[in-house]
Amino acid sequence: MNSEQIEDFGSLVSRAERLLVISHIRPDGDAVGSLLGLGLMLEELGKEVNFVLEDGVPLVFCHLTGADRVSRKVDGIYDLIIVVDSSDIERIGSVLDEYGEPDVNIDHHPTNTHFARLNIVKDDAVATVEIIYDLALTLSYPISLPVAEALLTGLLTDSLGFRTSNTTPRTLRIAADLMEKGANMQELYRKAMLEKSFEAVRYWGQGLSRIKLQDRLVWTSLNLEDRRIAEYSGRDDADLVNVLSRIRDTDICVVFVEQTDGTVKVSWRSQPGFDVASIATQFGGGGHKPAAGAEIRGDLERVQEEVLEATRKSMGRSGKS
């Protein structure tokens, strides 16, 4: 991100009246936080803003201001279309199929494909919300309390509560500034990251009951039957991968989640020194060195076998499970 890009962004915004902000499917806290944070900020500048997430806002982020205004489809005509926190255009689903290339892409994934006219990509940012915070500072956009809450949610969730290795003193200074603007960090942390539904924890139980460990690689899977038994309504892993990543003396963990459409959602997490984004990209996915994902066509068993083999290879190990 250079000053020319920030200027270009500022002039695109100042010329636009009707704006659309979009983020990725299976939205996480940074997707929702950057979507709402940027959109609400632009609204305070007097713009008309629409918000779109193909999968809607997950329950854990519904307390954020503006969450009830997020649509699942794009409708109408816009002067400026901005995509946030999405490394490639497929990540937003099919909502823009009729609209062509977006105008602006704001993201922090090293695997970003620069799919828009203006690409503001900063891969050392801990979260996309950090880039939005920097845009606000440079362009003197206002950061109201609802904006601060959205941005702090993205910062907290993508840094796993300031635990990831890319968390810097500056990350904490940004968080402190957002707290000074009135955001209640403890409350945002509890709602977005700590609290789980009873069903989600029961769903963890299904996955934890068949967890495997071999040569510092940990994995498990969640099938459709597990989801039914647990009465879990989401199609994600309920964050089980972040439970697995806490196991001592392991390097990489993987969770496989069977989907109803014949694909498997795979999530990797790794310790410093390992790069799971490069494994995810082999399967059409993406992400960051320590956290990556992909959606792979095929049945659970076959996908699991192929992914574990590629993962072992990248760890410099081979051998069958």
User: Which residues are near ligand 5GP by CB under 6 A?
Assistant: 87-88, 91, 109, 111, 241, 267, 285-288, 291-295
Given the rule CB under 5 A, which of 30-38, 211-219, 221-229, 263-271 is the region that contacts Mn ion? Answer: 30-38
Q: Which is nearer to ligand 5GP, 91 or 227 (CB)?
A: 91
Shortest Cβ 28–ligand 5GP spacing (Å):
6
Shortest Cβ 144–Mn ion spacing (Å):
22
The residue number with the shortest CB distance to ligand 5GP is: 293
Dist. CA 2–CA 175, nearest whole Å: 23
Q: Which is nearer to Mn ion, 132 or 255 (CB)?
A: 132
Structure tokens at 90: 């497929």
Contact 68, 84 (CB under 8 A): no
**Dihedral-angle region of residue 164 (phi above 0 means left; psi in -120 to 50 means alpha; beta otherwise):** beta
Q: Which is nearer to ligand 5GP, 250 or 267 (CB)?
A: 267
Dist. CA 112–CA 229, nearest whole Å: 37
- Quick one: what does residue 159 bind among Mn ion, ligand 5GP, none, with the CB cut-off 5 to 8 Å set by partner type? none
Contact 107, 84 (CB under 8 A): yes
Q: Which is nearer to Mn ion, 85 or 103 (CB)?
A: 85
Q: Which is nearer to Mn ion, 109 or 227 (CB)?
A: 109
Runs of H (alpha helix) within the chain: 3-15, 29-44, 128-139, 145-158, 169-180, 185-189, 198-208, 224-230, 240-244, 277-282, 300-314
- The one among 103, 149, 158, 275 contacting Mn ion by CB under 5 A: 158
Dist. CA 219–CA 308, nearest whole Å: 9
Dist. CA 118–CA 139, nearest whole Å: 16
Shortest Cβ 196–ligand 5GP spacing (Å):
15
Q: What is the layout of strands, in order, in the sheet containing 286-287?
A: 212-214, 217-222, 252-258, 263-270, 291-297, 286-287
Residue 85 found at the interface with Mn ion (CB under 5 A): yes
Shortest Cβ 110–ligand 5GP spacing (Å):
10
Residue 107 found at the interface with Mn ion (CB under 5 A): no
Q: Which is nearer to ligand 5GP, 152 or 291 (CB)?
A: 291
- Quick one: what does residue 217 bind among Mn ion, ligand 5GP, none, with the CB cut-off 5 to 8 Å set by partner type? none
Helices (H) and strands (E) in the chain, counts: 11, 12
Dist. CA 200–CA 240, nearest whole Å: 9
- Quick one: what does residue 307 bind among Mn ion, ligand 5GP, none, with the CB cut-off 5 to 8 Å set by partner type? none
Q: Which residues bind Mn ion (CB under 5 A)?
A: 30, 85, 128, 158
